[in-house]
Chain A
Amino acid sequence: MAGPMLEIDNLSAGYGAVQALKGVSLHVEKGEIVTLIGANGAGKSTLLMSICGDPRARAGRVLLDGEDITAKPTHEIMRSGVAQAPEGRRIFPRMSVLENLIMGAQAAGQDPDAELPGVFALFPRLRERQSQRGGTLSGGEQQMLAIGRALMSRPRLLLLDEPSLGLAPLISRQIFAAIRDLNQREGLTVLLVEQNANQALRLAHRGYVLVTGRITMSGSGADLLARSEIRDAYLGGGH
């Protein structure tokens, strides 16, 4: 049996004196959606960023399809099939939607023309807005653009950092539907970081709970949703 697509083994990382991750281990199988939930400051975003080598791991290893990528330069990791839609979307506000998308393909050495139709099919809104400046899009459209830009690099593994942040419930449901669609139709492997634990756990095959830099719980999405600790801590009680 082939090993997992992504394996994180006892990873520690942080910024300056702050140790954000204290020995995190998790794995993502090919074709899975795995979600990582946790409160603000638990280290979720740090984990996604240190998979990309920025900040670099202080201890532990990151394996992509069995290959150790812990010490690889960031741009080489991103060229080997990992893509990230970073926290806060971080689209290029003064560049057009089309230019934003092209950047996603070019940075990873892919041909933009080959990737554009797929992204436009997933998010038809982006096709309509392609000549508009990124900064003039609505929050939901910007999130679509951030995910679309990541998809332009034809990733094996998509890292999503809080795609529902600051979006209306209806829009965030659309985004989650698109992620499910990508996973089911294209078999794309997704590691999803979320504060919206309810939606994320419904979408994901499996989930991990991160508390102050350590994994405290893991299990299938449905299993975690049913646990009372999770309901109390992350789902706002009677939500």
Chain B
Amino acid sequence: MTTPQSASIAARLRAATLDALKATGIAFGLFVVMVGLRTDIGPTGALLLRTRWPDVAALCAAVFILRLVLALSVRPQQAAVTPARWAAGLSRAGLLFGPALLALALILPFIPGIGRYELDLGILVLTYVMLGWGLNIVVGLAGLLDLGYVAFYAVGAYSYALLAQYFGLSFWICLPLAGILAAFWGVLLGFPVLRLRGDYLAIVTLAFGEIIRIVLLNWVSLTGGPNGISGIPRPTFFGLPFSMGGGPGTFAGFFGLEPNPSHRVIFLYYLILALALLTNWVAMRIRRQPIGRAWEALREDEVACRALGINITNTKLTAFALGAMFAGFAGAFFATRQAFISPESFTFIESAIILAIVVLGGLGSQIGIAVAAIVMIGGFELFRDLDEYRMLVFGGAMVLIMVLRPRGLVGSRSPSVLLGARRE
């Protein structure tokens, strides 16, 4: 005699076994060619075919067991409840977590044990935080899937490099110019894609990103093509250069300090921190403005926006322009930090990483994006010792995060107007 309980256990076991068998079948299909057959170069130089059936069998067995364990351990109702509880706890912790993270970022250069390498990593992470926050305006708030965001980063970087090279303009003049030029290109991209949504928009923006890169690569007379532009001027401390020579006209000389190469790194660190915080501040402010709410409404339902009388054209173009502007700032910063840029730095994978940061952080969440940038960029550095397994560990970590938190690290959206803030 079977009780209902044991019957349901048996049913689950059956379903899990079936599921595991399916996964094993797929794995077998993949591994039989990829692992099972291998060609080696023989002693005579001819290719020898070698079979590795035991390896295939081991892999398939591993897939079967792992899939079975996964299917049995994840109960459907549990899977639904846990993220909600997590999110509530995380949003509570987030109240303290954000300021704590900011405080840590502010004092980072003065923490003992933080050297040149850590600061450089910090600068890199903050660059991606800024790019993530910038892209978040386009993707997270306005809901326009942009796969070519790196194009605006490139426009910013090349704007500064070329303006400095041809006209000798300083970083502080070029920074706003780079932002304006990138915003202009954002509008230029925006016009043809006004009527596109979702996948179609993604394809066109992807193509746009590639066009910018290919133009940079081939317009050798202006951009130097694949050789890039080198000798881009370093930023000055409001006119005081960082120079190892010291002397009255330099940063060290003016403040009576011993010349030290770390001054420039610390300055760059605070510069990108300030730029990132500016991005965050503007994005947060705008979210509470009519245009910010229009972006969010656009993400939710374009037809409803039209029926309400929102000017869709202006709404989309401002989102593209503003998002692009911050990428332009970040690009100018990138150029001055590296002192060398080439089209190599602006490939599609950069767009993909920035988009991954935004998605992983939970679309629309500022703090989530900061955490995701630290995890993605910092984590990637952390796994450096793993050599060729680095990508594997990294990919596994991303899959794990998406399984545990399918809506991103911080997946909940808080309203921009609250009950208490409004008088009745």
Instruction: Report which A residues bind B (CB closer than 8 A).
Output: 49, 52, 54, 73-79, 83-86, 90-96, 98-99, 102-104, 106-108, 113, 117, 130-131, 149-150, 153
Contact = CB atoms under 8 A, between A and B. Distances in A.
A74 B416 CA distance: 27
Contact of A103 (B297, B312, B419): B297
Given A92-B296, A103-B297, A78 B415 contact: no
A102 B300 contact: no
A11 B107 CA distance: 68
Interface of B: 290, 293-294, 296-297, 300-301, 303-312, 413, 415-419, 422, 424
B161 to A, nearest CB: 40
A117 B423 CA distance: 11
A106 B308 CA distance: 9
B415 to A, nearest CB: 4
A108 B417 contact: no
A117 B419 CA distance: 14
Given A74-B306, A104-B308, 8 more contacts: A77-B309, A84-B308, A95-B296, A95-B297, A98-B417, A98-B419, A99-B417, A103-B293
| Interface-central residue, A94, A113, A153, by most chain B CB under 10 Å | A94
B417 A107 contact: no
Contact of A102 (B293, B301, B305, B413): B293
A52 B294 contact: no
Contacts of B418: 131
A78 B306 CA distance: 9
B304 A91 contact: yes
A75 B310 contact: yes
Contacts of A113: 422
A107 B310 contact: yes
Top-3 shortest CB links A-B? A78-B309, A92-B300, A90-B304
Nearest to B416: A99
B300 A131 contact: no
Nearest to B304: A90
Contacts of A102: 293, 417
Nearest to B421: A98
A92 B297 contact: yes
Contacts of A104: 308
14 contacts: A52-B307, A79-B309, A83-B308, A85-B307, A92-B296, A92-B304, A94-B300, A95-B293, A98-B417, A98-B419, A103-B293, A107-B309, A108-B309, A113-B422
A98 B415 contact: yes
A93 B297 CA distance: 9
B21 to A, nearest CB: 38
| Interface-central residue, A83, A85, A90, A93, by most chain B CB under 10 Å | A90
A99 B310 contact: no
A112 to B, nearest CB: 9
Contacts of A149: 308
A49 B294 CA distance: 20
